[in-house]
Amino acid sequence: MKHKVILLLLLGFSLFAVGFRYLSVDRIMLQMHSQSLHKGKRADVNANLFYQSLDGRLVTRYTEPVDQVMITNNKGEMAIYNEKDNTVYRTQSLEYSSENNLIYFFLQGQTSDLGLGQLGFQLMETLFEDGLVITRWFPPSGMYHLFSHVELVHENYLPIYTGYYDVNKKLVKKVFYTDYRDFPEISLPLTITEFNYLPEGDSIVNRVKFSNVQINHRAVSSWFNFKIPNDAKIIE
């Protein structure tokens, strides 16, 4: 159970699992700082991320709150390595795939729907308001119990906001994409702020900031080829 909790914590902040075959991006490295605020308490996560498109391998080196290395790939294989005691936790699921998250769609150029269509959502309507393009999406049957619809807002062809509404049409989650930066290969939001509204009226605020983004020939580090030692003890 302990490892399950740690796993969910790390996954929650490892947003930059990516794929670049269509964008001429072979590899990327960057720093990530995340803050989570709930009931007046703040949790910080710091990590360095290293991704290469050839095998869809993402190495995330966490330095806070835990000193660990997480490795995932596009097959959903995951390993979390603790260097201090030379242990490794392994698991596999499609939800852990390095191609199964929000930022992946930014880097694939799928900014028109941020992967909603791929998840089975259907476009309900499109509105134009003060230079903004607002689209509303109807969920697939498997998500009827979660959402009534999702609202996506674009400005200058880039997504700036996503709102999630529950079955009672109450806003339960909103995400803002800001601080866009243009690279030779792609445009990326360097800040993602998420508000999750809980049933009891409280909320959890997550903010993720990316920095020191290096792409292709500028991305040089031995961490791209990091391998877990063969003598690492496997833990359940």
Encode pLDDT of 69-87 as tens digits: 999 888 889 999 999 999 9
- Tens of pLDDT, residue by residue over 22-57, are 446 788 899 999 999 998 899 999 999 998 877 788
Task: Specify the pLDDT at position 28.
Answer: 87
Task: Specify the pLDDT at position 102.
Answer: 62
Which superfamily does CATH assign the domain made up of 2-234 to? Lipoprotein localisation LolA/LolB/LppX (2.50.20.10)
Task: Specify the pLDDT at position 105.
Answer: 72
For 60-86, b/e burial (b = at least 16 CB within 10 A) is bbbeeeeebbbbbbbebbbbbbbeeee
- What are the C-alpha distances in Å from 135 to residues 25, 71, 119? 29, 35, 16
CB 57 within 8 A of CB 71: yes
Q: For residue 212, is it left (φ>0), alpha (ψ between -120 and 50) or beta? A: left
Half-sphere CA count of 133, side-chain side, radius 13 A? 10
Alpha-carbon distance 3 to 15, whole Å?
19
Tens digit of each residue's pLDDT, the chain (236 residues): 444 444 444 444 444 443 333 446 788 899 999 999 998 899 999 999 998 877 788 899 999 998 999 998 888 899 999 999 999 999 998 777 766 656 667 766 778 898 888 889 999 999 999 999 999 999 999 999 999 999 999 999 999 999 999 999 999 999 999 999 998 878 889 999 999 999 888 899 999 999 999 998 999 999 999 999 999 999 97
Task: Specify the pLDDT at position 207.
Answer: 96
Residue 22's identity, in one-letter code, is Y
CB 33 within 8 A of CB 46: yes
Residue 223: count of CB within 10 angstroms of its CB: 13
The alpha carbons of the chain give a radius of gyration, in whole angstroms, of 18
Task: Specify the pLDDT at position 98.
Answer: 67
Alpha-carbon distance 126 to 133, whole Å?
7
Helix (H) or strand (E) holding 172: strand 171-182
DSSP state of 140: P
Q: What dihedral angle (degrees, nearest 10) is formed by the CA atoms of 16, 183, 154, 9?
A: 10
Q: What are phi and psi of 66, to 5 degrees?
A: -125, 150
Paired tokens of 180:
């866009």
Cα–chain center distance at 132: 24
